[in-house]
Chain A
Amino acid sequence: MVHTRLSPRASAIDVFTGNTSRRDFLKVSAAAGGGLLLSFALPGFAGAATGDAAVLNAYVRVTPDNVVTIMAKNPEIGQGVMTMLPMLIAEELDVDWSQVRIEQAIADHTIYGRQVAGGSMATPLEWDPLRQVGAAARAMLVNAAARRWKVKTGDCVTAHGEVTHTASGRTLTYGALASAAAKLPVPDLGSVKLKDPKDYTIIGHSIPGYESSKLVKGEPLFGIDMVVPGMLHAVFQKCPVFGGKVVSANLDAIRKLPGVRHAFVVEGGRDLTGLMPGVAILADSWWRADKARRQLEVKWEEGATRRQSSASFARQVKALRAKAPAHSLRHDGDAAAALKGAARVLETAYHYPFIAHAPLEPMNCTAHVRGRKVEIWAPTQNPEPGRSLVAQTLGVDADDITIHFRRSGGGFGRRLMNDYMVEAAWLSKVAGAPVKLVWNRTDDMQHDFYRPGGWHFLKGGLDASGKLIAWQQHFVSFGRNGRFALAAGMEDTIFPAGRVANLSVGYSLIPFGLPTGYLRAPGSNALAFVFQSFLDELAHAAGKDPLQFQIDLLGKDEMLPGRGSGFNTARARGVLEKVREVSDWGRRKLPPRTGEGVAFYYSHLGYFAEVVEAAVAHDGQVKINKVWAVGDIGSQVINPTAAVNMVQGAIIDGLGEALNQKITIENGRVVESNFDTFSPLLLKQAPPIEVHFIKSEHSPTGLGEPPLPPAIPALCNAIFAATGKRIRTLPIDPAALKA
């Protein structure tokens, strides 16, 4: 067995941010492909027949009843990947979907390569390799049939999980051929022939979520539903101030409470992404553990972070904005001179807050440590960094840690971090028993890795014809020594960069002690609001239609530097033109205080343009009437029903951020504690969303993130059209929109 550790932490994060060049992207892709190739050579995977089942490769198992079991390699967090990735294999294997059973794979990158739910990367990374896996298995089955019949493989065809010899009409099922096929050499993945897309019977056809029939009956599939015989139920109280340490706690009193089996201090470390200090309470039921916590009295050493607050950040921003940016990001032409000569200059400031992920299933993990062996059942988006963290913290070998994926009740980037995994493992180690750790909602909201807030000070210059000739931007963010905190950065290629002759972008950083992390469409979820709102302001100042203004600014069709393989101005123009058509942009007669807004964004390799129609009541309440979305994610929408659902969900996610969400820091701790003060979008707020796709000739890319970013500025631009009031601070404040 070859262990090619792919340094998953590094590659996952690079891929997730999208801060990767095309070359890096291919490297990751090749590594995943290499992983697949290796998997064919693993003992027990190639040429194996175990019991009734013939294992054709690490992903495909066939039983004599012609049932084909396909492994779902990546964690399922609601993005539909457990259904979608097996569809790629099943298509090229040439089976009917009714023959297919899906099993969740174990976390093992030596077999399965990258197993991350993040960065909308499953489709672009797996599109070729998993189709090749299916085609290779099919080739082995055809080869087995040809040998049995002593005919040429080229004279055999496949369909519906059967091989047919065309001339004689002889037919055998895959189930009848599989054990012979499993003994044959595995074809080179790169050489297998793939189907012509016009012959697809699975890809491009709507297939319901594989586990949905179980989920609507309440079957126990999630992390929080895990049961291990003899397990204890745990809560873990950390210092409300990030990084605070335990001085003492009333453990003796806690240990006497009903049902409590263990209560102990966890010393922890200083890494906010690792095992932090706290007090663990383990009981015979979760309710008793959490009830005991209400009697817990802890003396904390809160540390320096207690001096940080949203107000203190605002004061630092005020001082920084008066100065030039501390660091430069991009300079084209001479922005200062162009602004001086401009016919019209707009100067504005935008701000977005910290926000939390708040998946509905709180963080949880079940772990069983036995000596040096560790077994973990985790709802995680990113298991390998968790494995490393547990290995380092517990002092065990990474190879002695088994990680089982459990379905995640939402992820949104929160479960890319594995703090809850190492906590469960540590508690099991100390207690000497299997432990299920379940956070309550307050733990979840107050110990997140937050989407960082940010401030942007902008100047834009228009010439006499209304053309954008100058752009000056000072971004105030978080970090230290010129390095952005996690997820607090900004690329230098965001449109309209490259299309404004005189552009100057710089940044200044506030050092701080809060944990930050990736939230769905990281970077873009905040930056789209800034860039696409300010462009809307400039369009209005120029007296132009905002949608046409952006098309004009995109200019000629070409590739500009950008994430992935770059920013394709033609694809951006394409989604804008299509959304103009499907929304009947600018042509509908709207009632008073009702407006339409448009925005587009390129994020995570996908292009989305969206139009929002919103009405603002006299009391300032915003009602979103409808959203039209147009996406270009390449030549195939693999599972259309799931794709439409994902686009609607991402837009609703973005609208929730715009309308409802803000995390406030006071004295180094988070103020909000539950859904009464921090809420996802509610059903009453959710508009109907019409979704369209443009099929372009580009290789298919992912969908979890790209629809989200434009929703926020499209809504804010609609509110401007409705009221003449510009939203420059999130979340939207109805009080500022009163008639």
Chain B
Amino acid sequence: MRYTLHVNGRRHTVDVDSDTPLLWVLRDTIDLKGTKFGCGIGLCGACTVHLDGAPARACLTAISDVGNKAVTTIEGIGATAIGARLQKAWLDVDVVQCGYCQPGQIMSAAALLAQNKMPSEGDIAAAMNGNICRCGTYNRIRDAIAQAAQSDFGAVPNKRKGA
């Protein structure tokens, strides 16, 4: 079956079986390898992408269910203000160990911050609990989200003219 996808602002036409999960279309057909395969049944969050800005598990999303929704992946999230801030915070805090789960972590965090500009610890835990980090970088994931949230949402930029 032929499907037209909108991924990170680009159109892709793919010819795949209708039950193919979005995960495998992204990875093997469009060759965007940042979205990761971890469990295949929506338990680990490594395949988290956004569909029209809402977080979705790409391993459970059949290509036939994507429709006209805009797909955003880790390769595209840096083009958004929230995504760029999160990627910077991830590096500032030095979150990464193996790095395999981190695309999914950042995508879940970006969806959280889009809904909730200043999440509490409880909000972070609720939004991020479905993303497993096997290396155990949770302390730094929490710190990085807090840093990205605080970095400049509604705040006065640091560079004040005439100061």
On A, residues with C-beta under 8 Å from B are 76-80, 206, 208-209, 211-213, 215-222, 224-225, 227, 233, 258-259, 285-288, 291, 358-362, 407-412, 438, 440-441, 641-642, 645-646, 648-653, 656, 674-676, 679-684, 686, 688-689
Contacts and interface: CB of A to CB of B under 8 A. Distances in A.
If over half of B's interface residues share one DSSP class (helix, strand or loop), that class is named, otherwise mixed; here it is loop
A639 to B, nearest CB: 10
Given A287-B17, A651-B136, A645 B100 contact: no
A222 B95 CA distance: 18
A397 B134 CA distance: 37
B34 A219 contact: yes
A212 B94 contact: yes
A291 B24 CA distance: 12
Contacts of B28: 233, 285-287
A642 B134 CA distance: 16
Interface in B89-143: 90-91, 94-103, 106, 124-125, 128-129, 131-142
B38 A441 contact: yes
A217 B97 contact: no
A227 B136 CA distance: 29
Contact of A688 (B34, B136, B139, B141): B139
Contact of B74 (A78, A217, A656): A217
Nearest to B32: A218
Contacts of B16: 285, 287
Given A216-B106, A410-B135, A675-B132, A360 B74 contact: no
27 contacts: A78-B98, A78-B99, A211-B96, A212-B95, A215-B96, A215-B99, A215-B102, A216-B91, A216-B96, A216-B99, A216-B103, A218-B34, A218-B73, A221-B99, A233-B28, A285-B28, A360-B134, A361-B98, A408-B98, A410-B98, A441-B38, A645-B140, A648-B137, A681-B136, A683-B125, A683-B141, A686-B136
**Tier of interface size on chain B:** 35 or more
B52 interface: no
Nearest to A650: B136
Most chain A C-beta atoms within 10 Å of own C-beta, residue among B27, B35, B73, B78: B27
Given A215-B96, A227-B31, A407-B98, A648 B39 contact: no
Nearest to A357: B134
A690 to B, nearest CB: 10
B13 interface: no
A689 B94 contact: no
B22 to A, nearest CB: 11
A379 to B, nearest CB: 10
Contacts of B124: 683
A647 to B, nearest CB: 10
Nearest to A409: B100
Interface of B: 16-17, 19-21, 24, 27-29, 31-41, 43-44, 46, 73-75, 78, 87, 90-91, 94-103, 106, 124-125, 128-129, 131-142
A441 B46 CA distance: 13
Given A215-B99, A286-B28, A409-B99, A683 B37 contact: no
Contacts of B136: 648-653, 656, 680-681, 686
Most chain B C-beta atoms within 10 Å of own C-beta, residue among A208, A211, A218, A225: A218
Contact of B87 (A217, A411, A440): A217
Contacts of A680: 132-134, 136
Contacts of B96: 78, 209, 211-212, 215-216
A645 B102 CA distance: 14
Given A208-B91, A441-B41, A649-B136, 19 more contacts: A77-B98, A211-B96, A212-B94, A215-B99, A216-B91, A219-B34, A224-B36, A227-B31, A359-B98, A360-B98, A407-B99, A409-B36, A440-B40, A648-B139, A653-B135, A653-B136, A674-B40, A675-B132, A676-B43
Contacts of A408: 98
B138 A686 contact: yes
Given A287-B24, A288-B17, A218 B33 contact: yes
A222 B102 CA distance: 13
A233 B27 CA distance: 12
Contact of A649 (B21, B135, B142): B135
Contacts of B78: 217
Contacts of B132: 360, 675, 679-680, 682
Contacts of B40: 440-441, 674
Contacts of A221: 99
Nearest to B92: A208
Nearest to B97: A78
A684 B33 CA distance: 28
A646 B97 contact: yes
Contact of B102 (A216, A259, A681): A216
A77 B135 CA distance: 10
A212 B129 contact: no
A211 B24 CA distance: 24
A221 B62 CA distance: 26
Contact of A641 (B31, B94, B106): B94
A216 B92 CA distance: 12
